[in-house]
Structure 1
């Protein structure tokens, strides 16, 4: 029977080792074997379970609800995301940056980036994206902490084997989403760099041989579709990162 280290499993399943440890310790989702030295070892059945956990989470189920689903219980799967959103909103309303920073970091350890972006951070930012000054101030606080956390995550991912890429915003005003999409891509094996200032027109010729991801924040216009096709015909590695 083949056994794998936590690093091997993390690379194979494209998930952070810290997240795997949280799933085991806090949620009891995994029960890996241990070497005499205390190191975790996973078998093929563990890997299948990890992939099943990922599928539940990516479908919108918070990690705290997954164990019950794996055991065949019926649960209201989406309450957990709303609970996490409300917890973060409460911290924001009380303007407690240190506590919010800790909350974001904990969530980042326990959930895959894509699920957290789609089910927590984007919905919160949408709720805060109002004309009211207080809401806009809270959104600005959250954005600063998110960018700071994503920067930390990207620095860690660049230390691992992977493919280099750059993400560029095109015609969007949402700079924070550029960073969040860079984080999402980093969990897919890309070592991301971020062009933090959105552009009116990207220039792939400035980045020869570089894989480029273009983020627009909305569906591509016909002109943008034609422009990306033109760049690809010229031999540039350009892909649209959908919102």
Structure 2
């Protein structure tokens, strides 16, 4: 098992080491192991948890309330997630959109958006990303149904009290994931609209007074972080969403 120092994790996740220490000491969100010399050691599970904490904080949840939300998302154990992934693969092999749609709706009634995205939809899409015609066909069908389902969830969320926001993909190509992240935000109290086409250079000045979330699909580059800081200095309400 690979372990990472707090400096390596900070660079990888785009988080200040001071913040990571506070998440551990003050809020009890992290429990890294210690080396013989007493230094913190983080594994991949710790990094996944850090990314989940980031998503909650960047969506506006106070860090003091994140722990309870993390505990709520522990709905099933890892072995059960693997079983649900296999069930999804079995449904996909029938190549019947109606059956797939029904399966996804059933999962949506039982699990949170965070859990489904992180533990089922993303892993299954990764498995289908193989360069094989059949896998590509199944992945394309899954993407179509996921976008349709996410859009319906966004519409349903607008019936409840919430704050307006716009989600923009920035220098990324995964449009399906963009819609899934919009769904994730909608479950956190946002009325989300989506720019369907990711942009190489977002222009916040076109959306004055609006809350903007930017999705990069990976850790923001230094250039992107500097650009975000510049926009904020200009008075725009802009935030990165996710990792």
Aligned counterpart, 1:218? 218
Unaligned runs of 5+ in 1: 1-50, 63-76
3-state SS in 1 of match to 2:198: strand
- Aligned-residue offset at 1:58: 2.0
Q: Identify the residue that residue 229 of structure 1 maps to in structure 2.
A: 229
2: CA distance, partners of 1:56 / 1:146: 26
Confirm or deny: 8 A CA contact 1:167 1:215 kept in the other structure.
Answer: yes
Question: Partner residue of 2:110?
Answer: 110
- Alignment deviations for residues 158-197 of structure 1 (CA, whole Å, 9 cap, x no partner): 1111100000001101000110000001111000001010
TM-score (norm: length of structure 1): 0.70
8 Å Cα contact 1:57/1:115 also seen in 2: no
Give the match's secondary structure for 1:167. strand
The alpha-carbon distance between structure 1 residues 215 and 55, as it changes in their structure 2 partners (threshold 3 A), is closer
Partners in 2 of 1:54 and 1:98 — Cα distance?
A: 33
Helix, strand or coil at the partner of 1:156: helix
| Corresponding residue number in structure 1 for 2:192 | 192
Corresponding residue for residue 168 of structure 1: 168
Query: What value does the CA root-mean-square deviation take over the aligned residues?
Result: 1.7
Give, in angstroms, the shift of residue 137 of structure 1. 1.1
Structure 2, unaligned stretches of length 5 or more?
1-65
Give distance in 1, aligned partners of 2:72 and 2:145: 24
Residues 149 and 208 of structure 1: is their aligned pair in 2 closer, same or farther, counting only changes over 3 Å? same
Q: After the TM superposition, which residues 81-92 of structure 1 pair with which residues of structure 2 at under 5 Å, given as runs?
A: 81-92=81-92
Larger relative CO (CA 8 A, sep 6+): 1 or 2?
2
Pairing 1:13-92 to 2, within 5 Å after superposition: 55-56=70-71, 58-59=73-74, 61-62=75-76, 77-92=77-92
In structure 1, what is the Cα distance between the partners aligned to 2:145 and 2:72? 24
State TM-score, norm by structure 2. 0.70
Match of 2:137 in 1: 137
SS in 2 for 1:196: coil
Larger Rg: 1
Distance in 2 of aligned mates of 1:240 and 1:105: 29
1:155–1:52 distance in 2 versus 1, CA, 3 Å: same
CA deviation string 1:121-167 (max 9, x = no partner): 00001111111121111111000000000111100111111100000
Partner of 1:67: none
Between the aligned partners of 1:80 and 1:54, the Cα distance in structure 2 is: 20
The 1-side partners of 2:216 and 2:123 are apart by: 18
Measured in 2, the distance between the counterparts of 1:237 and 1:186 equals: 18
Who is 1:93 aligned against? 93
Residue in 2 that maps onto 1:147 = 147
